Structures are given as C-alpha cells and as structure tokens.
Amino acid sequence: MEQHNAIIKPSYHDRLTNDDLAPLKKQTWGSYNIFAFWMSDVHSVGGYVTAGSLFALGLSSWQVLVALLAGIMIVQFFANLVAKPSQVTSAPYPVICRTTFGVLGANIPAIIRGLIAVAWYGIQTYLASGAFLLIVLKFFPQLAVYADLRQYGFAGLSYLGWLGFMVMWVLQAIVFWTGMDAIRKFIDWAGPAVYVVMFLLAAWLISKAGWSNIDLNLGGIKYSGAAAIPIMINATALVVSYFSGPMLNFGDFSRYGKDYRSVKRGNFWGLPVNFLGFSLLTVVCIAATLPLYGKLITDPVEMVSHIDNTFAVVLGGLTFMIATVGINIVANFVSPAFDFSNVAPKLISWRMGGMIAAVASIFITPWNLFNNPHVIHYTLDILGSFIGPLFGILIADFYLVKKQQVIVDDLYSMDPKGAYWYSNGYNPKAIIALIPSAVIPVLCVLLPSLASLANFTWFIGMACGLAIYWTISDKQTMPKAAGAASA
C-alpha cells in the first residue's frame, strides 16, 4: 500500500489511478501470510457461532464434519479461481472488475461489495464490543448501571454499549490507518494467538466437565440415513455463504502474493485444514458447557463470562476482541477501502475509503440491525444475493471469455480504443447478466414459497451470472498486447 510500491505510468488516467489501486512493484506475501489471512477470517465470534450452529442441526458429528469439509473445499476451489487474476496483475478486486464491467462500470460491483462490508463491519464491531465490556465489568462492576438502556442510552444503545463500540471502532481504525504492511503483521500473529487461547479454553472446560460427559452431537441426532442428506447439503451451503464476501474480494489480498503457488498453498492450510481444526475446537468447547453449566452456550463471550477466574476472563475477552478485530479488518475494512477509492481515485485514497466505511458503520446503528432478526435477514441476505452473480460473471469473463489474458495498462486507460472501454466505459453485457442473476436470489429471500432455496442463493446467483454472461458474450480470444498479463 506504500507509495513507493506502486507502478504508475504516464499513460494511466488519474480518474482510474492512485498509489493504492496501481499495480505493485513488489509482491511479497508468502503462503503463511495467506494462511494467516484465512485464520483471521475464521477465528471470530461469528465463525464460532456458525461452526457451533452446524453441530446443532441434528446431525451426527461425522456428518457435520463431512458437510464442513465439502463446504470448505468448495470455498478453497473458488478462492483459488478468484485469486489468479489479481495475483497475476497485482491489481485489487475493483480494478480487476474493470476487465468485466468496463473501466467505469467496475464501480457497480465495487459499491455493492462496499455496502455489504459496511453493514458487516458495524455488526462485527458491535460483537467485539461485548468482549470488551465483559472485561470492563469484571474490574468495574459499579458501571453495570450504565448498561441499562432505558435510563442511560440513546439511538438504541446504552452509554456503556456506546463506550464499548467506540473503543473497538477506534482500535480498528488505528490498526487500519497504519497501512497494509501493519495489517499483514497484525493478522500474522492474531490468528495463531486465538488458537493458543482456544486450546487453553478447551483444556480447561474438558478438565472441569470431564471428557466422558461431553457429547459432540450438540442438538441430539434427529436425522439418519437418507433423511440426513438434505440437512448436510444445507450445512455445506451455509459454510460457502459464510465465506462468500471475503471470497469475492480475495483479490485485494492475493495481489500481494509473490506467486500463485504460494497463494494456493496458503488457501489449503487456511481453509480446509484450519477451518476443520477450529470447528472441532469450537464444538468441544460448546459441548463442555452442557455438563458444566446445565445449558449449551454457543456465544463464546457468554461462555467466557461464566468462568470464575479473573485472569481467564480477561484473557478470553481479549482473545475474542482480537479475533473480531482481525476478521473485521480483513473482511470488512480493506475491501471497502479499495472499493470506495475506486469510485474517485483522485479524491479518495485507500485510507479515506476505509474511513468512509467505518464512519458509515456508526450511522447504520448496527446493534439495531443485529437485534432485529427480520431486518438483518432482509438487509444482509438481499445484499448477499449480489455476491454470487458478481463472482460468476467475473470468473466467466476471466476464464471463459478472456482466456486468462489481461491487458494491465488498459485497466487504467480512458482511451476509447482500450480493451475495457466497451461502451463509454461500461460493459452492457455484464450489467445485463447481473440484473436477472441478482433478481432470482433476491426472490428466494423475499418469497415464502422459495424459502427452501434461501441457503443456496450464492450458488444460484453464481451459476446464473456465469451462464448468462457466458451465453451473451463474444467468444473470440483477446489479442495479446504489450503490457498483457496471462496465466
């Protein structure tokens, strides 16, 4: 992200270029950095609750693990596909979208992805503030009165809640503001640190509950034989949906990869290996809460609050704060930073784009979103319905239409003869493909008669986007040009 690492040629138009969006001189990330990126993405309160909820679907443990493995292998496959164009060109996600949507049309997918990130950024910050307040109240119990929303609160959040939210907001902003290299260093140690504490927490819970009292089938086994297959397919789809946002803009990170092999290796260790390990740790911790506390506790912050050791509570609270800061920065801060910068590169730097997202996340009052299941369902699922189509169109264009060839210089050119000018900077075919491909998943969210398909909106949208765009696009191979990058 640093200025000296950008390649900006005289022919690059300032409406499409700044130090952050331009190609990189050096790509330095190895497999471990990509592995750590996925660790930060998995190790969060949201990841913990998601993994726990899969084990409570009424399947046996081995069936859940099969579904988890199937889902995460699908994520790995698509993450490898979407990584390649950005790794080869060293361009971030919104710039790569110019190949598909046109140099100006790329703002359509960029803004959609940016809005999704803003909503999730606010929600994750709110979740992290719960861990912070747990620590505060452990040392200053007299402050608990300020958690009463009716007496001390505004905009749907108590004074104490506001304190927790703004502390987490500022901490994340500081990490982000220090730049991409600092973010890489942060996620390099944050993911492993969470693992260490999770192992300690699991060991403590097992010692207290007794291994023989722990049943990993959290919800009891309700389905067996053929009846379990639809539930397993649903669980697989949920895993893919959970990762769909970071997967779409994974190019924002793979652009730093020193070679494609390193990115693929990092994806292998960070996705199937890491996610299965984290899921097993999660379910052991959750299963141990039943014999210990008489109920299943799937919220890790609540689980930590039940521990009667102050040091353990502080350690646990800090861990889940760090974990949530990690996912928020990689999934919901870096992405809109590039996306909003892409809209007006001359006016909006990467840092400015990220801060726009952060400020917007306060004004959407994410606690009101999160506390209303209907609102969060419609807001996030409708926005999420666009992720699949955007992914499908991008993949179809790069692999099937453009045959993995990108003319890097034309990504930054407003020349009407440029490869990505299309029609006044917009590719009508990509926009035509996007509309029906997004409408169909949105209908699955809104119409009760299609509710059974709601978990599959990413797959439906991705398949529709890929098929429609591939059908209506010209099939000729792009000519090789000076400055072209090919895989």
pLDDT of 1 reads 41
pLDDT of 388 reads 94
pLDDT of 2 reads 45
- The number of beta carbons lying within 10 Å of the beta carbon of residue 363 is 10
pLDDT of 376 reads 65
Domains of the chain with bracketed CATH: 29-372 (1.10.4160.10)
Asked whether the whole model's pTM tops 0.85, one would answer yes
- Report the relative pairing of strands 484-486 and 405-407 from DSSP bridges: antiparallel
**Tell me: the pLDDT tens digits for 117-147?**
898 889 888 888 888 888 888 888 898 898 8
Tell the residue number behind the tokens 């398909």, with chain if given: 453
pLDDT, averaged per 10 consecutive residues of the chain (487 residues), comes to 74 93 94 94 79 80 88 96 97 97 96 89 86 87 87 89 93 88 88 86 89 80 85 90 91 96 97 91 87 84 83 84 84 90 93 92 87 69 86 97 95 95 96 96 89 88 97 68 53
Task: Judge contact between 325 and 168, C-beta under 8 A.
Answer: yes
Q: Closest Cα partner for 198 from 51, 415, 391, 9?
A: 51
pLDDT of 482 reads 44
C-alpha 275/C-alpha 279 separation (Å) is: 6
pLDDT of 380 reads 66
- Report the relative pairing of strands 405-407 and 157-158 from DSSP bridges: unpaired
Name residues whose C-beta falls within 8 Å of residue 429's C-beta, 6 or more positions apart in sequence. 469, 472, 473
Torsion of CA 286, 290, 291, 292, to 10 degrees: 70
pLDDT of 101 reads 97
Q: Where are the alpha helices (DSSP H) in 153-227?
A: 159-177, 180-209
Residues 461-477, buried b or exposed e (16+ Cβ, 10 A)?
Answer: bbbbbbebbbeebeeee
